[in-house]
Amino acid sequence: EPRAEFKKSHSAATLSTLSSKTWSGTLPIVPLDPGSFRKRLFLIFEDADSSILSKAFATLILLTIVVSTISFVVESSPAYRERPAACFERIERGLKPTVEDCEPRPLESFFGVEAVCIAIFTIDYVARISLAHSVREENCNVLRATVLYALQPLAVIDLLAIIPFYLDLYLNGAFGFAA
């Protein structure tokens, strides 16, 4: 099975990294795996037990998840929502307010928090996908290894978590063109 092929090579890479810890039992600053630079970089993103840097990055991702979740919950509270200026302009002009113009929206600061969190998640996802081939089996080509990694359930969940943000930007014309 193709996925078993990737998992086998990935677990072998992880085991070799874990066994390369220093004799004192402490973690190295970066993974000591004798493989390529790309493989060591992949392990920083993928294997929190491979080095101090990878633990720090895993902690950053975990904190980003917590901040993103708290922000999402808080922004839905009426205390942190405001009516757009367009609503008040319609009322001043004597026009009937519309739901689109007058529905309360989260404070602008929540967008900034979400954008930073999504940027961190995107960097993590793109780095892992672009480096996944570095831990492939000898008989597995680069494209196949990358696709096999991208189709793993957690990689698919990561992609599904960031797509709505970019889709919303696209549909609202934030990229300079409206859909």
Q: In this predicted structure, what is the pLDDT of residue 2? A: 46
H or E stretch at 144: helix 142-150
What is the β-pairing status of strands 105-106 and 81-82?
antiparallel
pLDDT value at 3 more than 80: no
Three-state secondary structure along 94-127? CCCCCHHHHCCEECHHHHHHHHHHHHHHHHHHHH
Contact 91, 84 (CB under 8 A): no
Q: In this predicted structure, what is the pLDDT of residue 139? A: 81
| Choice between 112 and 174, residue whose per-residue pLDDT is larger | 112
Q: In this predicted structure, what is the pLDDT of residue 162? A: 97
> Using one digit for the tens of pLDDT, what is the confidence trace for 115-144?
999 999 999 999 999 999 888 777 888 899
Closest of 152, 168, 158, 130 to residue 65, by C-alpha: 158
Q: What are phi and psi of 82, to 5 degrees?
A: -140, 155
Query: How far is the C-alpha of 174 from the C-alpha of 5, rounded, in Å?
Result: 41
pLDDT value at 157 more than 80: yes
Question: Model confidence at 173, in pLDDT bands (50, 70, 90)?
Answer: confident
Contact 57, 143 (CB under 8 A): no
Question: Model confidence at 18, in pLDDT bands (50, 70, 90)?
Answer: very low
Direct distance between the N- and C-terminal alpha carbons of the chain, in angstroms, rounded to an integer: 40
Mean pLDDT check: name the lowest of 93-97, 104-108, 138-142, 144-148. Answer: 138-142
> Using one digit for the tens of pLDDT, what is the confidence trace for 20-70?
444 346 888 887 766 788 888 998 999 888 889 999 999 999 999 999 999
